[in-house]
């Protein structure tokens, strides 16, 4: 049977990928960010998941405002990465997992989540910006990818509660898949930022820390928040952190944060985290993680 072995929350800022491609990992301005992804890469190397299921939003590269789906799931045997105007990034295409993906489609539709199903649509920085920092890819990727697009661009957006429920349904679907697979779920987006209007350049570090604490300890409180609450606290584009709630819902009731890195050097607060599910025998032994600045 398939099983979820952990989760990752990560920003997907496009400049992360650009800096990576230019080899700026040790530049003083970028080193704190890239160093924060090293424990994530090490954790994935240790866990060796067969599949990453990534919640992301397409930035009008493969889906457009004339027809932008609320939820869309990719079922292709191979996924390529989008040319977002400056040429394609030097990343190899990545295998999909049509078996798991089509099983998710069937399960989610039967749980009344109406999905768009896509093939052969390239994936933009919503996925590829953090993916290259987490998984080695010279000569090919170590596992498969199931991309799950969530609309956080064109209103009306799915509610935060709907995203949390989506995660619950995905957990049930994965656990009912008969093949022996290990899966890591990844929520992307954020953290606080706004890139337009009167508040362009807005950030709120206090809100970011509150969000990162609540995603572990009280996701229902986050699910009760309205979109306007997210925009007010985290900026207009900061609302995209509702995609982390889909990841959180897939992890079960109790989780432990194993790693957190937070870096605010540009207009977007950038974070990356690792989560593992906690069973009843582990609860008394949970240690507080070391948070990187």
Residue 193 is a catalytic residue: yes
The catalytic residue among 125, 137, 196, 227 is 125
> Which pLDDT tens digit goes with each residue over 21-31?
999 999 999 99
Delimit the domains of the chain by residue range: 3-292
> Which pLDDT tens digit goes with each residue over 60-102?
899 999 999 999 999 999 999 998 888 888 999 999 999 999 9
Which of 12, 8, 52, 7 lies closest to 193, judged by CA? 12
- Beta bridge partners, 8, equal 186, 274
- Which of 201-210, 212-221, 266-275 is predicted most confidently? 212-221
**Crossing angle for the helix pair 242-249 and 205-217, to the nearest 10 degrees:** 20
Architecture per CATH, domain 3-292, reads as: 3-Layer(aba) Sandwich (3.40)
Residue 79 is a catalytic residue: no
Give the model's pLDDT for residue 291.
54
Q: What would the mean pLDDT of 211-234 be, rounded to a whole number? A: 97
Give the model's pLDDT for residue 168.
98
The catalytic residue among 12, 193, 196, 291 is 193
Q: Are 290 and 30 in contact (CB under 8 A)?
A: no
């Amino acid at each position: 049977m398939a099983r979820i072995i952990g989760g990752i929350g990560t920003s997907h800022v496009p400049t992360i990928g650009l800096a990576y491609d230019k080899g700026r990992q040790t530049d003083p301005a970028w080193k704190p960010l890239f160093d924060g992804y090293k424990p994530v890469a090490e954790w994935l190397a240790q866990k060796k998941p067969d599949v990453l299921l990534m919640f992301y939003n397409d930035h009008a590269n493969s889906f457009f405002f004339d027809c932008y789906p609320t939820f869309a799931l990719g079922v292709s045997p191979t996924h390529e990465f989008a040319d977002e105007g400056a040429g394609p990034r030097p990343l190899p295409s990545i295998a999909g997992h049509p078996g798991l993906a089509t099983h998710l489609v069937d399960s989610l539709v039967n749980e009344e989540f109406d999905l768009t199903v896509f093939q052969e649509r390239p994936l933009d920085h919503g996925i590829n910006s953090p993916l290259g920092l987490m998984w080695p890819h010279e000569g090919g990727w170590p596992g498969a990818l199931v991309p799950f697009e969530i609309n956080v661009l064109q209103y009306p957006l799915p509610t935060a509660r709907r995203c949390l429920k989506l995660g619950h349904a995905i957990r049930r679907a994965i656990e009912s898949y008969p093949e022996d697979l290990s899966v890591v779920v990844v929520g992307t987006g954020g953290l606080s930022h706004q890139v337009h209007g009167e508040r362009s350049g807005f950030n709120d570090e206090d809100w970011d820390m509150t969000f990162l604490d609540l995603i572990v300890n009280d996701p229902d409180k986050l699910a009760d928040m309205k979109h306007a609450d997210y925009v007010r606290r985290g900026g207009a584009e900061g609302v995209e952190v509702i995609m982390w709630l889909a990841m959180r819902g897939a992890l079960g009731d109790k989780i432990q944060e194993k790693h957190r890195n937070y870096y605010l050097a540009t207009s977007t607060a950038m974070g990356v985290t690792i989560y593992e599910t906690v069973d009843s025998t582990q609860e008394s032994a949970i240690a507080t993680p070391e948070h990187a600045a």
